[in-house]
Amino acid sequence: MADSLFTIILFRPNNMDINTNLTAIKGIGEKTAGLFSKLHIGTVGQLLEHYPRDYERMEPAVTVSALSPGKVCAVKASVIGMPSTKRVRNLLITAVQAGDATGLFRITFFGMPYLKNMLKPGMTYVFRGVCQYGTPLRMEQPRLFRVEEYTALQNTLQPRYALTQGLTNNGVSKAMRKALDSVLSEGNRLEILPEEIRNEFQLIPLGEALEKIHFPENTQDLIAARRRLAFDEFLLFFLALRKVKEENQIRKVDELLEKVPDTDRLLDSLPYRLTGAQQRVWSEIEADLQKENAMNRLVQGDVGSGKTILAFLALLMCAANGRQGCLMAPTEVLARQHYEALLQMSGEYDLCIRPVLLTGSQTAKEKREIYARIADGDANVIIGTHALIQEKVIYRQLSLVITDEQHRFGVRQRELLADKGKGTHVLVMSATPIPRTLAIVVYGDLHVSVLDEMPAGRKPIKNCVVNTSYRQTAYSFIRKQAEEGHQVYVICPMVEEGEMDGLENVMDYTDKLKAVLPDSIRVAALHGKMKPAEKNNIMEAFSNKEIDVLVSTTVIEVGINVPNATVMMVENAERFGLAQLHQLRGRVGRGDSQSYCIFISGNDNEQTMKRLNILNTSNDGFHIANEDLKLRGPGDLFGIRQSGLLDFKVGDIYQDSDLLLIASSLAERIAVQDPDEKLEQYSLLYERMKQDGNSIDFKTI
């Protein structure tokens, strides 16, 4: 979870407590502390919760002849000949050959001009990276180790942390060691779980978990540490969620809505018929809106299953009853697309809706005019982003709140919006496929509707799962599609340079793509660390066909609808959960042209390819999520994040579904056992929960 796991823990050695600045750690000055602050780390506790993103098992170095294409390998080899350099579109490319008595291979580096002085003929290093097919074999951007340096690391598990420019993995690791030595010294109270609970569920002590998550001696250490930290996250989540549910008991509406002919007239006028699933779910929503108890409903459905028209029908029903409804989208681009679609529909079918768009980027004058229209009731449908929950927005007769792609919002935001009216109906739309067994737990306070049928006439997306040797072929295909006037998404899992070997990061990848594609093809980058206005401008430009190829992180998983986009290429597809890959795939296939999805795996072992090939055989998000759940196991550790569904730091609701259900059951048991929260054995747990209570971000509830 986004909140610190140690907000209640006191660190006493050397007068260091939880809120002490990182500069209290020896070796961290103001400059280094400033770098950590870019990762939202300012205290010792926040540092300890900066868990490794992944781990490297430093296997023994092999000979060139033993290299395995498609896999991360370490090879001991000598530089042969002088390196060559060239510059393509301002990107410096350095290439050199290396080898041993058994063969040669070619190494390419992008950027990193200093390497030219290190790669001198006869110098011997251990090169570690993904070996790629070719004649000779190739490595791109491997890590370099001195031979004696790699020998010392051999057969160990090395944590790899998220970094920012100026911070090294080694620097973070050293700071972590010093912080742990202080925190784990005698006299500190780390534990928040009673011993009997730890014994019952076979959980190691919290202090031991912290030591083993950052410095594991073996895989068993890592599994035990991860299990404990994930359990704590889940338990605290459910304890806090229970309080939210208690506060959100049955709400009475202040005015009943009636069934109106306007919705039937719209349905009769549409150029298509609703699917059976859409008709069923609309009947449920329409019935909810006529009840005295306010609706609290989740509609789950794959991308393209037709959730938006149901939201529009609900908004129309409110407007026809003389009330207001609002729809909150996660991005300005998506909010504008909803607004324009509703405006067009209103004019085309002569609807009684008067929509307005409210976003953070509008001028103060524009906002004042919109505020006035909302306050006097002239605007009866309000579409926007987080701007909808600002204090200045006063609704005249708000009856319905719809949140689109709900997993981008926290429950507090939903509550703030619902509180703008009296007994407001709430409709939550989510494209995240989640197995029903988990949905019952996670969406405990919502009635769940599922759109399990896709509209007819859509061309199925053509998929292929390949290894890195097909990358050049994929580039040629991207070029062809762009030259035919279509647009392309390329998804990378990382942003920061050097975060993890073998993973394509957005900025480097964008430069690489510009180097291999003609100048006429417009390539741009988008990632989560950009400022909101900058992200919005790029998404708008892509939507307006001003960008041909958009290289992005999963920030585009929601929030953009571009029918002209026909290709989705995902690098390092093995790093994503199938549920997330399926959602990314849903960004294409929205127009009349045939669409394609290319999943490039940097790891072609049998289990990885078996997982990814599920995407080849099904376009059903719920089937994919369930199949993936069957294949996953604790050995995956931190390797794959299923989705942005719940922003836990360690736990994953798919991978750790058994732990999730146990924690949910324990939270209920504690509530029954100690309804007044007075038992001493749970005091630290309650204290911790209260600390988190005002800021926990329940991402999909």
Nearest CA to 326 out of 399, 371, 382 is that of 382
* Element holding 466 (H helix, E strand): strand 462-467
Digit-coded pLDDT (tens) for 92-124? 899 999 999 999 999 999 888 888 888 999 999
- Stretch 17-27: mean pLDDT, rounded? 78
Concatenating the DSSP letter of every residue in 479-507 gives: HHHHHTT-EEEEE-SB-STTSSTTPPBHH
**Cβ of 515: how many Cβ atoms within 10 Å?**
16
Which ranges in 103-157 belong to alpha helices (H)? 115-118, 147-153
86: which strand partners?
93
Neighbouring residues of 295: CB distance < 8 A, sequence distance ≥ 6: 285, 288, 289, 400, 425, 426, 427, 447
Asked whether the beta carbons of 357 and 339 are under 8 A apart, the reply is yes
Least confident among 122-136, 399-413, 577-591, 615-629: 399-413
Instruction: Provide the percentage of residues in the chain whose pLDDT is more than 70.
Output: 85
**Confidence band for 138, pLDDT divided at 50, 70 and 90:** very high
Nearest CA to 382 out of 335, 341, 345 is that of 335
In the CATH hierarchy, which fold is given to the domain comprising 261-451?
A: Rossmann fold (3.40.50)
In the CATH hierarchy, which fold is given to the domain comprising 462-618?
A: Rossmann fold (3.40.50)
d(CA 144, CA 400): 58
CATH number of 59-155: 2.40.50.140
Digit-coded pLDDT (tens) for 566-586? 999 999 888 887 878 888 888
* Element holding 467 (H helix, E strand): strand 462-467
Asked whether the beta carbons of 140 and 602 are under 8 A apart, the reply is no
Longest alpha-carbon distance in the chain: 84
Nearest CA to 102 out of 71, 132, 136, 66 is that of 66
Q: What is the mean pLDDT of the chain?
A: 84
Neighbouring residues of 6: CB distance < 8 A, sequence distance ≥ 6: 18, 45, 48, 49, 190
Least confident among 130-139, 153-162, 290-299, 428-437: 428-437
Higher pLDDT, 596 or 528: 596
pLDDT at 163 over 90: no
Digit-coded pLDDT (tens) for 383-400? 998 888 888 889 999 999
Residue 29 burial class via C-beta count within 10 angstroms: exposed 0-12, middle 13-18, buried 19 and up: exposed
Helix/strand number for the chain, H first, E second? 23, 21
489: which strand partners?
550, 568
d(CA 451, CA 298): 11
Neighbouring residues of 97: CB distance < 8 A, sequence distance ≥ 6: 79, 80, 81, 104, 105, 106, 107, 136
Helix (H, G, I), strand (E, B) or coil at 141: coil
Helix (H, G, I), strand (E, B) or coil at 379: coil
Least confident among 81-85, 90-94, 409-413: 409-413
**Confidence band for 697, pLDDT divided at 50, 70 and 90:** very low
Helix (H, G, I), strand (E, B) or coil at 596: strand
* pLDDT for the residue numbered 68: 87
Asked whether the beta carbons of 699 and 410 are under 8 A apart, the reply is yes
Same fold, 59-155 and 462-618: no
What's 322-373 look like in SS3?
CCEEEEECCCHHHHHHHHHHHHHHHHHHCCCCCEEEECCCCCHHHHHHHHHH
**Confidence band for 13, pLDDT divided at 50, 70 and 90:** very low
**Confidence band for 356, pLDDT divided at 50, 70 and 90:** very high
Helix (H, G, I), strand (E, B) or coil at 109: strand
Digit-coded pLDDT (tens) for 240-299? 877 766 665 667 888 899 999 999 999 999 998 999 999 999 999 999 999 998 888 889
* pTM over 0.85, yes/no: no
Digit-coded pLDDT (tens) for 289-338? 999 988 888 898 887 788 999 999 999 999 999 999 999 988 888 889 89
What is the residue type of 652? D
Q: Sketch the domain layout of the chain as residue ranges.
A: 59-155, 261-451, 462-618
Digit-coded pLDDT (tens) for 666-679? 999 999 999 888 99
* pLDDT for the residue numbered 694: 42
Higher pLDDT, 203 or 55: 203
* pLDDT for the residue numbered 439: 67
- Stretch 650-654: mean pLDDT, rounded? 80
Q: 297 φ, ψ to 5°?
A: -125, 140
